């Protein structure tokens, strides 16, 4: 029997992975020129979702940005500033590191040159960090191949921040026929209007509580 469109776009917790977007110190630290607003409000929810994925041994992918000092790999809107001396997300610096709150342990450090070469750095059981050269988590990366190899069809997206990396990642995931769940209280600066707009692409919205209940099997596959 042929499945309907709705039946084909149903989140599957047996084939789900978590994506965190740009959860790095330079996007969070007070006074950083690229500080994202609203991170402190969503970070506790992100931590709970990350820990749940670890507890259930589900794959986790942390997407990070890294800016070479010469600006050669920087997106156009920031390239001139980096070339003129803006020092953010520099490979090997503390500012480029993952937030301590989401690391599997405090000793984790990014292998920046390996990441820039396209490698996925394993930092825990079924948990990786990788470099993305632009806003979206898929653009110019091997993420889709990795997900397909793991049999993943559903993605939960969290992190910072919605107007840039969050939105772009949800668009890219939907365009590649993944069933995408936006953690609507676990993506900073996520607006109701923006999330509803992405719903027209088939993306779901779930609160952290709903994600955790769904992941545990206590909640059905409804948007929440």
Question: Which tokens go with 73?
Answer: 């790999």
Give the model confidence (pLDDT) of 6-53 as tens digits: 567 899 999 999 999 999 999 887 777 787 777 778 999 999 999 999
| Residues 164 and 187: beta-carbon distance below 8 Å | no
pLDDT at 69: 92
* 16-21: strand order across its sheet: 121-124, 127-131, 60-64, 16-21, 154-159, 179-187, 204-206
| CA–CA separation, 86 and 78 (whole Å) | 9
The pTM for the full model equals 0.92
Distance of alpha carbon 71 from alpha carbon 82, whole angstroms: 6
pLDDT of residue 6: 54
């Amino acid at each position: 029997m042929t499945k309907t469109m709705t039946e084909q776009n149903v989140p599957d917790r047996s084939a789900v992975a978590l994506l965190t977007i740009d959860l790095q110190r330079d996007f969070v630290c007070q006074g950083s020129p690229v500080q994202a607003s609203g991170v402190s409000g969503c970070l506790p929810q992100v931590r709970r979702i990350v820990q749940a994925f670890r507890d259930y041994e589900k794959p986790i992918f942390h997407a990070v940005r890294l800016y070479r000092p010469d600006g050669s790999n920087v997106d156009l809107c920031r390239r001139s500033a980096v070339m003129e001396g803006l020092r953010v997300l520099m490979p090997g610096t503390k500012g480029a590191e993952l937030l301590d709150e989401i690391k599997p342990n405090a000793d984790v450090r990014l292998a920046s040159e390996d990441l820039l070469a396209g490698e996925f750095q394993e930092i825990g059981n079924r948990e990786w960090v990788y470099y993305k050269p632009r806003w979206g988590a898929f653009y110019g990366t091997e993420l889709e191949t990795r997900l397909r190899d793991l049999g993943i069809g559903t993605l939960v997206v969290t992190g910072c921040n919605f107007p840039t990396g969050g939105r772009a990642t949800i668009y890219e995931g939907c365009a590649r026929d993944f069933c995408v769940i936006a953690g609507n209280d676990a993506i900073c600066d996520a607006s109701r209007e923006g999330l509803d707009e992405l719903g027209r692409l088939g993306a779901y919205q779930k609160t952290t509580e709903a994600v955790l209940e769904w992941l545990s099997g206590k909640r059905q596959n409804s948007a929440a």
